[in-house]
Amino acid sequence: MTRRRQHLRTALAVAVVTSTMAVPAAAPAGAQEKSTFTVGVIQDMDAFNVTLGVTLSSFEAWNNHYPTLTDKSEDDFSVEPSLAESWTGSADGLTWTYKLREGLTWSDGEPLTAEDVVYTINRSRDEEWSNHYSTVANITAEATDELTVVLTSSEPDPKLPVMDVYIVPPQVYEGLDADALSAHKAIDDPGGGPFVMKEWKKGQFWRMEANDSYWRGRPAVDELIFRVYTNPDALIAALKSGEIDATGDIPANQFDLLKNESDITVIAGNQGGFNELSINAGDGLGDFHPAVADPIVRRAIAHAIDRQTLLDRVLNGLGSLTPAMSTSASPEWDLVLPEAEQYGFDPDTARQLLEDAGYVDTDDDGVREDPDGRPLEFRYLSRSESELSAPLADFIGEWLKDIGIEIKIEVLSDTQLTPRIAEGTYEMFVWGWVPYVDPDPMLSYFTCSEISDDPESPGWNDANWCDPEYDRLYKEQNRELDPERRHEIVQEMLKIFHDSASYVVLFKTDDLNAFRNDRFTDVVCEPTETGPFLFTNTGKTYQRIRPVEDGETGSADCGERVAAASGGDAGDTASTADDSGSSAGLVIGLVAALVVLAGIVVFVLAKRKPADERE
């Protein structure tokens, strides 16, 4: 998986799943009184504590366990009621008043009141909780009665009235100071979402039970189990055999094959996730080759990479090309850039750029030297947890060799890679991100303040790139209430970042999901026309799914991507993607794209201070 970061899916180093490990077994719906929906995952949670975790798996669990003041529509990400059933704003847009539903309770029976919302917002602001801070940084919350929350922003905030940070139970948190909170496991905390966390065996599984007190009503499924696999082949075998009911971690080379399984429905969704070649721009810590700090070298590297071949050969076409990083689950925010200004595959241009800048091969060994005689030999950090890493390194290594650059591949786990990035002891690596709905969090990661200044507390800016004009524009868009003007500012920022060539975006990745339609139905994609149904911005599928009834075949609300019939040959599939595998051409809507994702990716990676850890 990725970070919210594919950091954002930081996949953790997890224990190998064996037939003897203590994981609750899945059974066909109807075979027992308790209905269990079992999801196979490659990535374990890194923490269930919302102040610490950063993996997509953790966000998926939080989306089920914790309530939020507002929610997001699965149709288009527009803001919709949650704990708050209504809200009104002041004329200047700085004050918003939310009315909560009556009768809200935590899973332990304690009333869930306006004071609980206020407690979470104010404490997370004061202590700068990493998964809350970008949403609450300028907010002061007040409860005027048990059902009324008043939020006042010190500055214009284009994200309001969205307030989708995870609300935590004060009956637990009031007894924890900042130090105790950092050690809090949170597994036994009361919840206010559709399910409540009950058990977590790291590297094996986590289990959640339906919340009888959930304000929307108890889910139709009694229990969720997420089972951890380290081998994608074993994961797919488990799906086919019925050991699991669904997965969001389908290898690209298995996707088309699963289309022919009559009892399995597959969906190719896209929510802005991308993989990038990050090149150390040199504005941070570390011992790195000075050549990578030269934008000319980075641009030459960008021209040397055939991204279409990577999309076709590594992803089997299940993705799309984009000129710059994706900042939102909505494609409306993607950079629009004339082809002539993009870094197209052009080895001749790459070689000429290097030659003109004085990077020449003086000893005819195939590797260029910089003006001081140092060979262009770069450390390339490769992720051991990703099945994409090896083929990407092979392709990129050959293309860079062709222009006179040698890479030295080091294979690291994600837990090893993060500190190496913070230390700056590398020249390049490949990883990925899954952004939230609102572009602000993703944009914030590449401000100068997010560059790591302490390897023990890494910042988010893994490009080690700093630009004062980008920072100025970031502050401007962060306060701009006019949607059209804000969109223009974001385009300017993305163009600046693109031109730096610190991030060579290789491709946008489709999220390949599948579920057993002989067991469950009423699956929900987010957004309906383009998104996946697992690891989304709200987790509506878990709230809506139900076991199939006798003679019923499970359905999915995923637009035209699901055919009426299941199974058959390649021309009669359970679901189909468009010809390119891309959803980038489908416009969800600018206003909807302004909605912030609280907590999850890519899925609120809130703006993090430099000391925050990442996935």
pLDDT digits (tens, 9 = 90+) for 470-511: 999 999 999 999 999 999 999 999 999 999 999 999 999 999
Determine how many CB atoms are found less than 10 A away from the CB of residue 51: 23
User: Looking at residue 24, what is its pLDDT?
Assistant: 55
Checking if the pLDDT of 125 tops 70, the result is: yes
pLDDT at 314 over 70: yes
Helix residue ranges, H only, 10-161: 56-65, 114-127, 133-136
Task: Walk me through the domains of the chain, giving residue ranges and CATH numbers.
Answer: 70-179 (3.90.76.10), 274-479+495-509 (3.10.105.10)
Between CA 7 and CA 4 the distance in angstroms is: 7
Residue type, 328: S
Q: Which of the two residues, 567 and 188, has the higher pLDDT score?
A: 188
Q: How many separate helices (H) and strands (E) can be counted in the chain?
A: 17, 23
Longest dimension (CA), the chain: 78
Give the pLDDT mean for 93-105. 97
What pLDDT, in 10s, does the model give residues 434-443?
898 899 989 9
Residue 535 falls in which region: left (phi positive, over 0), alpha (psi -120 to 50) or beta: left
- Is the pLDDT assigned to residue 323 strictly greater than 50? yes
Write the single-letter amino acid at 157. Answer: D
Tell which residue, 155, 151, 165, 158, has the closest CA to residue 51: 165
pLDDT at 597: 33
pLDDT band at 609 (very low <50, low <70, confident <90, very high): very low
Identify the band that residue 253 occupies on the pLDDT scale cut at 50, 70 and 90.
confident
Question: Would the pLDDT of 313 be above 60?
Answer: yes
Q: What is the sign, positive or negative, of the torsion defined by CA atoms of 261, 263, 265, 266?
A: negative
Banded pLDDT at 389 (limits 50, 70, 90): very high
- The pLDDT tens digits of the residues spanning 257-269 come to 999 999 999 999 9
- Beta-carbon contacts of residue 42 (< 8 Å; ≥ 6 apart): 1, 11, 228, 229, 230, 232, 235, 249, 385
The answer to whether 416 and 425 are in contact (CB under 8 A) is no
Residue 424 predicted with pLDDT over 80: yes
pLDDT > 50? residue 449: yes
pLDDT score for 457: 83
Mean pLDDT across the chain, nearest whole number? 87
**Whats the size of the chain, residue-wise?**
615
- List residues bridging with 105 in a β-sheet: 111
pLDDT of residue 563: 54
Strands 428-433 and 274-279, by their bridges, are antiparallel
Residue 612 has pLDDT above 60, yes or no: no
Kindly report, residue by residue over 510-556, the tens digit of the pLDDT. 999 999 999 999 999 998 888 999 998 888 999 999 999 998 999 99
**Which residues make Cβ contacts (< 8 Å) with residue 511, sequence separation at least 6?**
248, 268, 269, 270, 271, 273, 531, 532, 534, 535
Region 74-98: mean pLDDT is 94
Instruction: Tell me the two tokens of residue 276.
Output: 């990038």
Among 144, 145, 159, 18, CA closest to 441 = 159
pTM exceeding the 0.85 threshold for the entire prediction: no
Report pLDDT for 565. 29
Confidence band of 426 (pLDDT split at 50, 70, 90): very high
Per-residue model confidence as pLDDT tens digits over 546-599: 999 998 999 999 988 875 324 433 333 333 333 333 333 333 333 333 333 333
In the predicted structure, residue 25 carries a pLDDT above the cut 60: no
